[in-house]
Amino acid sequence: MKSTMSYGSKRELLDRVAPRYREANLSQKSLILDEFIATTGYARKYAIRLLTQPQTDPTLTPLTRISRPRPPIYGPAVKDALTTAWAAANFICAKRLVPFLPELILALERHGHLTLTNSLRAQLLSISPATADRLLKAARQADQPHGISTTKAGKLLKHQVPIRTFAEWNEVKPGFLEIDLVAHCGNSAEGSYLYTLTLTDVATGWTECQALLQRSQHTVIQALDRVRLLLPFPILGIDSDNGSEFINNELIAYCEREKITFTRGRPYKKNDQCFVEQKNGAMVRQLIGYDRFEGEKSYRQLAEVYRATRLYVNFFQPSMKLPVKTRKGSSLYRKYDQAQTPFQRLGDAQILTAEAKNQLEEVARALDPVQLLAQLQTLQNAL
């Protein structure tokens, strides 16, 4: 039962009841304890502990024994600056936001969205993820809509494409990508509608999305050719599900001709493509949603959305990777690395030529995250 007594009143009652409780016999203690619980609303075990433990200095009043919280360290200016950075990063969680703040703040200051003093910048960069979450109080919707599956198994040629399970992804070199198709069919899979081909690099998280007017092996290969021109590193391997748009003679021959390793996941095991499945939800479904899109105009508009998306996600959306996962008995322990953007992870991989690295750094300096996010929202509304 919840009590309406104040904390000070409960402590005054405790000071009066505790000596009597400790001197009483067993039957009297039971009556005193029941009365004390009914008055204060405390749990029985907690009430027993309070009544039996030694009391503090009786010369102190109950109110003076209350330890007051320390004054707030971060004022409104820090909260406003943090909120601006959080909005520019599209409201990501604090564990992803805080490690990315040094670079994000530089970009926001460079484009005039933040003006910070040295002390304010030092406070903002010293903030912890837990404190950032308390300051931001992010409200996120729990219920999300779900789409329907349009994957049709490619029953032939499976023996020509080796299986790779989720546990076998130990690549640290960029260039091995998971690929998947997302259908924009709404609530009905009848007729013709648009698709999105999502490609995610396992090592860095670099993601490219391509709009497809229809699902076929020819549109998939054309999209792969476009992606190879956009990626800052060569494609060394691709891993797909068992859909017929991937498991076919044309794509197998394409990969053999271009020296690309082609593997597939197990049927009905979505976790074998966990990297691209995560991007399908965080990028495609979050940005495009579950509506139905069809026709040439929608195709062109969807392509424009993805032109802005690739820059924003790869340069301004940090993510955490799971390098270590251990099991002790029935408990599973996960240890994540520090959140980084795909651009940062690509730089750490040290596979880029000096010219390619300079070009990417120039692109990163020129990008304004706030303006890019606003442009992306405008394109979403037009779609």
For 200-218, the pLDDT digits (tens) are: 999 999 999 999 999 888 9
Same domain flag for 361 and 284: yes
Same domain flag for 178 and 216: yes
pLDDT tens sequence across 136-163: 874 343 344 444 455 555 454 555 667 7
Same domain flag for 83 and 24: no
Same domain flag for 311 and 352: yes
Number of structural domains the chain divides into? 3
- Tell me the residue type at 303: A
Q: Quick one: average pLDDT of 359-375?
A: 92
Same domain flag for 372 and 225: yes
**Within-domain flag for 153:** no
**With bands split at pLDDT 50, 70 and 90, how would you rate the model's confidence at 93?**
confident
Residue 143's pLDDT is what?
41
Helices 296-316 and 369-382 pack at an angle, to 10 degrees, of: 160
Same domain flag for 272 and 230: yes
Among 227, 319, 322, which residue's Cα sits nearest to residue 279? Answer: 319
Pairwise pLDDT comparison (111 vs 57), residue with the higher score: 111
Same domain flag for 226 and 375: yes
What mean pLDDT, rounded, does the chain reach? 85
- Looking up residue 297, the CATH number of its domain turns out to be 3.30.420.10
Query: Residue 57 above 80 pLDDT?
Result: no
Query: Residue 356 above 50 pLDDT?
Result: yes
Residue 152's pLDDT is what?
52
**Within-domain flag for 229:** yes
**With bands split at pLDDT 50, 70 and 90, how would you rate the model's confidence at 102?**
very high
**With bands split at pLDDT 50, 70 and 90, how would you rate the model's confidence at 1?**
low
**Within-domain flag for 143:** no
Please state which of the ranges 81-90, 123-132, 308-317, 322-331 shows the lowest mean pLDDT: 322-331
**CA pair distance 137, 315, nearest whole angstrom:** 25
Q: Which domain holds residue 186?
A: 158-382
Percent share of the chain, pLDDT over 90: 38
**Within-domain flag for 52:** yes
**With bands split at pLDDT 50, 70 and 90, how would you rate the model's confidence at 167?**
low
Q: Write the CA distances from 376 to 130, 206, 367, integer angstroms.
A: 29, 18, 13
Same domain flag for 130 and 168: no
**Within-domain flag for 146:** no
**Within-domain flag for 124:** yes
Among 181, 177, 184, 186, which residue's Cα sits nearest to residue 198? Answer: 181
**Within-domain flag for 150:** no
Same domain flag for 316 and 178: yes
Same domain flag for 165 and 267: yes
